[in-house]
Amino acid sequence: QKEVEQNSGPLSVPEGAIASLNCTYSDRGSQSFFWYRQYSGKSPELIMSIYSNGDKEDGRFTAQLNKASQYVSLLIRDSQPSDSATYLCAVNIGNTGKLIFGQGTTLQVKP
Amino acid sequence: DTEVTQTPKHLVMGMTNKKSLKCEQHMGHRAMYWYKQKAKKPPELMFVYSYEKLSINESVPSRFSPECPNSSLLNLHLHALQPEDSALYLCASSQAPSGTDYTEAFFGQGTRLTVV
């Protein structure tokens, strides 16, 4: 079992729709969870962090964490073509400093 | 300021060369990371330094040698690389853990390495 798992996609949504991205992790001791966006040829850009169960909202982005189910998700509301990118889930495994990424989900927002 | 600066942006080196990648941050972060990223793959963790000490080495070949001379700088020394080592090398930094939480890691723009 991989330490952090995501569906690679591509996930295609129309402009203005909600995009839902999911991630699961294997180590129950993990406490810190992050979503990064990566455009082709660029480095990962942090968009959300979440540490506690529940929802965390920042603008059009909402991160959701369920530690009992070992599940993290990212919702993007009112999706824009500029949101088209690869979204990487990252987990600090067992809170050791070992920051591991999932395979990434490619999001395509069609005008 | 969330800036992590990597130099050089691009590097071409022969298999017998020795070169170094540099990373600098001035955010007061005490955890620094090296990642390797191949095309269409996620970043793959190589090394983690915490308070200038190597805390994680993900079984990286010895031809990659990290160094953390002070709290702001991180180097990756390269020697006798192979063509399959060609990749984007990413540096990141975060606040060192306080209690049980590691906070957000911020990435530099990367060094695109080609081994010929």
Closest residue on chain A to B87 (Cα): A41
Distances (CA, A) of B81 to B19, B55, B66: 10, 24, 14
pLDDT tens column, B76-111: 999 999 999 999 999 999 987 655 567 789 999 999
pLDDT digits 0-9 by tens, B50-81: 999 999 999 999 999 999 999 999 999 999 99
Q: What is the dihedral of CA B53, B54, B55, B59, to 10 degrees?
A: -170
Predicted local confidence at residue B95, as pLDDT: 86
Cα angle, residue B20 at apex, residues B51 and A86 outer, rounded to 5°: 75
pLDDT at position A60: 98
Kind of pairing, strands A32-38 and A11-14? unpaired
3-class SS at B83?
A: helix
Q: Is residue A81 within 8 Å of B32, Cβ to Cβ? A: no
Compute the C-alpha angle A105/A38/A67, nearest 5°. 55
Six-digit token string for A106 = 């490619």
pLDDT of residue B2: 64
In chain A, residues with a C-beta closer than 8 Å to the C-beta of B44 are 101
Tell which B residues from 1 to 20 touch A, by Cβ distance under 8 Å. Answer: none
Q: Do B50 and A97 touch (CB under 8 A)?
A: yes
pLDDT of residue A94: 75
Residue B68, both tokens: 């953390």
Nearest to B46 by CA among B38, B61, B54, B57: B57
Beta strands at B87-94 and B111-115: parallel, antiparallel or unpaired: antiparallel
Rounded to a whole number of angstroms, the distance from the CA of B22 to the nearest CA of chain A is 16
* pLDDT tens digits, A44-100: 999 999 999 999 999 999 999 999 999 999 999 999 999 999 999 999 887 778 889
> Which residues, 6+ apart, have CB-to-CB distance to A1 below 8 Å?
A26
Distance, in Å, from the CA atom of B113 to the CA atom of B3, rounded to the nearest integer, reads 21
B109 close to A (CB below 8 A): yes
For residue A8, name the pLDDT band (cuts at 50, 70, 90).
Answer: confident
Q: What residue in B sits closest to A39 (Cα-Cα)? A: B40
- B18 CA to chain A: closest CA distance, Å? 25
Tokens of A44: 């990962």
What pLDDT score was predicted for residue B97? 67
The Cα–Cα gap between A66 and B51 comes to: 31
Tally of residues, chain A: 111
- Say how far apart CA B36 and CA B106 lie, in whole Å: 15
Query: Residue A105's closest chain B neighbor by CA?
Result: B42
Q: How far is A90 from chain B (nearest CA, A)?
A: 10
Instruction: Supply the pLDDT for residue A29.
Output: 86
Query: What residue type is B8 in one-letter code?
Result: P
Flag if A96 and B33 touch (Cβ within 8 Å).
Answer: no
Q: Which residues of B touch A90 (CB under 8 A)?
A: 105
Can the peptide bond before residue B69 be classed as cis, meaning omega within 30 degrees of 0?
no
B86–A contact, CB cutoff 8 A: no
- Contact (Cβ atoms closer than 8 angstroms) between residue A105 and residue A37: no
* pLDDT at residue A96 in the model: 77
Beta partners for B44? Answer: B36
- B66 in contact with chain A, both atoms CB, cutoff 8 A: no
